[in-house]
Amino acid sequence: MALDAHWFTEVMASTGTAFSLKARKLHEEQTPYQKIEIWDTETFGKLMTIDGCTMVSTRDNFLYHEMMSHPALNAHPHPKTVVIVGGGDCGTLREVLKHPEVQSATQVEIDERVTRLSEQYFPELCDKNDDPRATLFFGDGIQWMKDATPGSIDLIIIDSTDPVGPAEGLFGKKFYLDCIRALAPNGMLVQQSESPLLHLELIQEMHQAMRDAGFAQTHLLHFPQVIYPSGWWSGSIACKQAGALAARLDDAAIDALDAKFYNAETHRAAFALPTYVKKALAV
Ligand code: SAM
C-alpha cells in the first residue's frame, strides 16, 4: 500500500526495512551536528527524529529510558555518581534521578538544541532537569570522558544516536579505555546497543571492544522498542570487576520508581538471552 504525504518513514536501507507513523511535521532545523525534526503523530504522540532516525516518542519512550537506567542502577551496589553521555531528550536523566542513592547525575550532550526542543515538545521528560543533583553539560562526550577525573564515576550510561556522525567514536575501544579510567573500581557502563535481531554483529564487536579495553565482564539486556528498527532493542553492560552484576531487587524500592515497564520480573527477563544471542556472545 502506498503511503500518502502525511506519514513519517524511516528507511533502513542496510537491513531492507522501514518504519512509518502517520504524522505531520511541526518543526525542522539543522544544527551544527545533525538535522532535528519534531512530528505530531496520530497514535504515538510527539516524535523526535535526528537525521531521519527515530529517537523518542511520547508513547513508547518509557521502555527505552527505564531499561537504560534501572537495570544497571539496581545491578550496581551503590551508584552515587552517574554520567549520561548523549541522552539530550532528558528521559534517561529523569529515570536516574528517581533513585535516592544517586547523589549526582551529569548529562553530557553534544547538541544543546536536542534538549531545548525536548523541553518544548516533551516537557514530561524534562521535569527533573532542575533537580539539585542534575547537571546539564553541553559538549562532546568523547572529550569529556578523556578529561574526567580517574576513578570518579560509578555508572556511565551511553544514550547516544547510532554509531555514525558525532556518535561514531562512542562505540570503540579507545572510548571504552577512557571510560574504564574514569570509573571507580566497581564501576559499570551501560550503552544502547541496537537491535539483537538486525545488529548482532555490531553487538559482538562492541562486547569484544569492551573486553579488549579491560572490562572484566559484559552482559546484554533486551527489551521491546516499537519505534526503533525491528521493534526490539538492547543495552550492553560492561563491568570493571568480575562478578559485579549483583542485582538489588528490593520490591519496595522498585515500586517507588513508579515505572511503567520495569519491575523485578522484567529486570530478570531482560538478562535472559535467546539461544542464538547467547551463542554469539559466548566467550
Ligand atoms: N534513544 C535514542 C536512540 O537509541 O536512538 C538516543 C536518543 S538521544 C536524543 C541521542 C543523543 O546523543 C543525541 O541527542 C545526540 O546529539 C547525542 N550524541 C551523539 N554523539 C554524541 C557525542 N559524541 N557526545 C555527546 N552526545 C552525543
Who contacts 143 (Cβ-Cβ below 8 Å, separation ≥6)?
Answer: none
Q: How confident is the model at residue 245 (pLDDT cuts 50, 70, 90)?
A: confident
The Å distance, Cα 166 to ligand 1 centre, comes to: 8
Q: Which residue has the cell 519491575?
A: 263
In this predicted structure, what is the pLDDT of residue 2?
55
- Tell whether ligand 1 has an atom less than 6 A from the beta carbon of residue 95: no
Bridge partners for 19 per DSSP: 10
In this predicted structure, what is the pLDDT of residue 160?
95
Cα(53)–Cα(72) distance, integer angstroms: 26
The Å distance, Cα 3 to ligand 1 centre, comes to: 29
Cα(262)–Cα(279) distance, integer angstroms: 26
Mean pLDDT of 130-134: 98
- Residue 202: how many other CB atoms lie within 10 Å: 16
The domains found in the chain, sorted by start residue, are: 7-57 (2.30.140.10), 61-281 (3.40.50.150)
The Å distance, Cα 2 to ligand 1 centre, comes to: 32
- Annotated catalytic residue: which of 60, 89, 159, 162? 159
The Å distance, Cα 142 to ligand 1 centre, comes to: 12
- Residue 250: how many other CB atoms lie within 10 Å: 11
Who contacts 60 (Cβ-Cβ below 8 Å, separation ≥6)?
Answer: 44, 225, 226, 227
- Tell whether ligand 1 has an atom less than 6 A from the beta carbon of residue 160: yes
Q: What does the block give as the cell for 192?
A: 544502547
Q: How confident is the model at residue 119 (pLDDT cuts 50, 70, 90)?
A: very high
DSSP designation for 149? P
Mean pLDDT of 206-211: 97
Cα(225)–Cα(67) distance, integer angstroms: 10
- Tell whether ligand 1 has an atom less than 6 A from the beta carbon of residue 89: yes
- Known active-site residue 111: no
Q: Which atom of ligand 1 is closest in space to residue 233's alpha carbon?
A: 4
244 within 8 A of 213, measured Cβ to Cβ: no
- Residue 35: how many other CB atoms lie within 10 Å: 12
Angle between helices 200-213 and 173-182 (to 10 degrees): 50
Who contacts 213 (Cβ-Cβ below 8 Å, separation ≥6)?
Answer: 173, 176, 177, 179, 180
- Tell whether ligand 1 has an atom less than 6 A from the beta carbon of residue 60: no
Q: What does the block give as the cell for 126?
A: 524534562
Position 249 pLDDT exceeds 90: no
| Residue pLDDT, tens place only, 23-51 | 999 999 999 999 999 999 999 999 999 99
The Å distance, Cα 170 to ligand 1 centre, comes to: 10
Which protein residue has the closest C-alpha to ligand 1 atom 26?
86
Q: How confident is the model at residue 251 (pLDDT cuts 50, 70, 90)?
A: confident
- Tell whether ligand 1 has an atom less than 6 A from the beta carbon of residue 192: yes
Please work out, in degrees rounded to the nearest 5, the angle formed at the alpha carbon of residue 161 by the alpha carbons of 208 and 237: 35
SS (H, E, C) 189-218: EEEECCCCCCCHHHHHHHHHHHHHHCCCEE
Substitution site in 58, 67, 110, 135 for ligand 1 pocket (most atoms within 8 Å of beta carbon): 110
